[in-house]
Structure 1
Amino acid sequence: MNRNEDILNPTEADQFGLAAATLLRQGSQSLPAGIKDRLYAARLKAISVKKPEKIRIQQHVLTSSTGSWSSGSRSFWDNVGWIAPLIVLVFGLIGIAQWQQDSRINDIAELDVALLTDDVPPDAYADSGFMGFLKNGPLAESDQDSLDSAKSPS
């Protein structure tokens, strides 16, 4: 015999209980008055001894004009649990802003180092003629040849 077959599910147990109560009620009508009185007293005693069921009630009440919510048995972490993700978000945004600022500072420092270590003096970059030279490139070979022939006293 399988042990799981002997156990009733809650609906079957309720149906069995109702059927048994109906049979007992029908059978109790034909009992003598003394037995009925003893059954009634036993029923009252059983009801008085029965332990009360524990019912879990969650209560959310606005406690005062400060607007804070409280509940009877909530732990500290349940009350402040929503704050932790907010703090992580704020620190994350601060970290990202700091990282971007450091990146900008490093880029500017690299540009300054390149300017200061270059062969061309920094004032040349401000000269408009130098900018034209950078845009057009060095003199063409034909221009270079004409300059060389002009310089040589042949």
Structure 2
Amino acid sequence: MNYQSSPHPAEIAAERFARRVTARLSDGTAELPYDISERLRAARVQALAKRKVVAPVRQTAPAVLASGNSAVLGWGGEGGSWWRALVSAVPITALLVGLVVINVSQDEKGVSEVAEVDAALLTDDLPPSAYADPGFLQFLKTSANPTH
């Protein structure tokens, strides 16, 4: 099957413009010295080698189809199948599963951090009320410096 469509009007206009520019450039080359005309020919060959080649379209892309007074996305005349719907749902399902896993992981991490702080407070030599004391910062500074 070959799905080639007629050229777009913009492509036709671009082709006409290219032919006019080529003809105009070719007219002026007769008066140029040989070395310059050879460099121009080599540049033209390089430009043609690098030119984009438009590959023919082999598979139709989703199209906008008329459905009464509204437009819907469709698959270019093919009937919708349950397999295509299932394949379309896989990325959404993977995203949702990933979000749930991240949420559970973050919750567990937050709980373990709170548990570590609580355990440190409960097993410390200081009572919890000492942490609220304004002189506690001074106590920490002096206990960290063994020279005092």
What TM-score, normalized by structure 2, do the two folds share? 0.45
Structure richer in strand, relative to its length: 2
Q: Which has the larger radius of gyration?
A: 1
Tell me which of the two structures has the higher relative contact order, counting C-alpha pairs closer than 8 angstroms and 6 or more residues apart.
Answer: 2
